[in-house]
Amino acid sequence: MSSSAPLPDGLVAIVKQDCPTCVLVAPVLVDLAGRSSIITITQDDPTFPALADWVVHDSDLSMSWHNDIVTVPTLLKVENGTPTSRIEGWDREAWEAFTGMTELGPELPDWQPGCGSLSVDPNLTDELSVRFSGSAMTSRRVEIAALEDEWEAMYDRDWSDGLPVVPPTEARVLRMLEGTTRNPGEVIAIAPPDLVECTVEKIAINAVLAGCRPEYLPVVIAAVEAVCSDEFNMHGVLATTMDVGPILIVNGPIRDEIGMNSGGNVLGQGNRANSTIGRAVQLVIRNVGGGQPGGIDRSAHGSPHKFGLAFAEDEEGSPWESFAQSRGFTAEQSTVTAWCGGGPTIMVDQLSRTPDSLIRHFAKSLLTSVAPRMALMETVLVIGPEHMSRFRDAGWDRARFVQELESHLAIQTDDVLRGVDGIDEGAAPEMAGKVISKFWPGGIHVIHAGGQTGLFSMAFGGWIPPPKGSVCTTKEINR
């Protein structure tokens, strides 16, 4: 009998020689074969429990996989090729009732648990899934020669951002796709700059490359949707010679579900979700959209965060509604916000004990954001817990914080005109005599995150405002 054939009707036992319980019940199987009609399917040794015509070798594990064999020994009753009932492990009383035979294995213990089936062996399940699940993946397969180093091969094929990437085998991609209920062929976005259709499958491949876990995939999908929107203007973000790139802020229940970091070292290394989600998005833009440095990506200096930057807000420690709630979402919704910015700078204040003092110091720092003579910009502030306590204790809410901060961010254009103080850069002469704001309306975004100790906060400098620039874009994360 071929192992790819349907199961025969009647009694069927599935065993493996590398299982003490299967070895224990081998005499019982021989006894049953002599007293009735039984087929025994062996997963490993084709001569176990005997070299006989009633023993079939499941050499490719197809029968075990297709019939959901989790434990061996398993005893099945099969009708029309389909199991109708089953027993797992050894239980004399149950086996006798199941087979209608008495005096089975009288010398054996009354009960013995089984072992794991080879078809659910973690070392084999991905391969078996690829082989038997009827994968509908449409991406091109790339064969790596046996003597070729696969990591070097991927680098040579320009799939990498310069760091090692994980080989996106079909098994790994299928496992990644288990992180979402969305159809692998669903087009999520048109990826710039080459305007290529970007499917769930393509995103999953790059999530594997980046080192993501399957549960991160819904976040990556939503983030790709956000950065590929017309509002975010990813093509422009790539083409600018500034150092800017997507910065991803995650809110809602999914933060804890996937173990994102919102505390110490929140903008740094050490957390897998934080480190790989942003990287996956950047790899999608690179590998699917064609946005590679030296091509459409014309950044003069770049920034380490262009490898990818994603972090979670510390909602539980904040006295305010979450950043996502301030943008119209509920606390029960999981969201990712894509914002275009450059590298962060630190804001140190270890002496201010009142919100008025601290907000003034913040403003002094922010007046130099990007450049002291540039205005109508945008910023993301990541306020640390110790700094946030000043505003919590004074009863300030988010709206008051922004209002008070903006009141200290007015710029007298006469102070920043071209040529003033011997500096050629500055506002045009026709701007003389005006008062302008450092940041355009709605251009101050405040997140609470960071370690519990340290009187520090961080500020990201932004890019130019719309319509030429980028709009902060939030998407709900759907599983």
pLDDT, one tens digit per residue, over 285-337 is 999 999 999 888 989 999 998 999 999 999 999 999 999 999 999 999 999 99
Are 473 and 232 contacting, i.e. CB atoms less than 8 angstroms apart? yes
Contacts of 474 (CB under 8 A, 6+ apart): 226, 324, 327, 329, 335, 336, 337, 338
Are 369 and 430 contacting, i.e. CB atoms less than 8 angstroms apart? no
- How much is the pLDDT for 466? 77
- How much is the pLDDT for 3? 44
- How much is the pLDDT for 138? 80
d(CA 67, CA 60): 13
Start-to-end Cα distance in the chain:
43
Which two three-digit tokens encode residue 305? 């965060």
Say if residue 332 is exposed, middle or buried (CB neighbours under 10 Å; 0-12, 13-18, 19+). Answer: exposed
Q: Where in the chain is the domain with CATH 3.40.30.10?
A: 10-132
- How much is the pLDDT for 6? 78
Which two three-digit tokens encode residue 407? 């009141």
d(CA 214, CA 207): 8
- How much is the pLDDT for 135? 64
- How much is the pLDDT for 168? 93
- How much is the pLDDT for 5? 60
Return the closest-CA partner of residue 172 out of 221, 206, 134, 218.
206
Contacts of 373 (CB under 8 A, 6+ apart): 416, 423, 425, 426, 427
171: helix, coil or strand?
helix
* DSSP strand pairing (90-91 vs 55-57): unpaired
- How much is the pLDDT for 145? 82
Handedness of CA 82, 88, 92, 93 (dihedral sign): negative
- How much is the pLDDT for 134? 63
Q: Which residues of the chain carry a pLDDT beneath 70?
A: 1-5, 134-136
What top-level class would CATH report for the domain 10-132?
alpha beta
Handedness of CA 284, 287, 289, 295 (dihedral sign): positive
64-96 pLDDT, tens digit each: 999 999 999 999 999 999 999 999 999 999 999
- How much is the pLDDT for 20? 96
Q: How far is CA 408 from the centre of its chain?
A: 39
- Looking at the DSSP assignment, which residues form a beta bridge with residue 444? 379
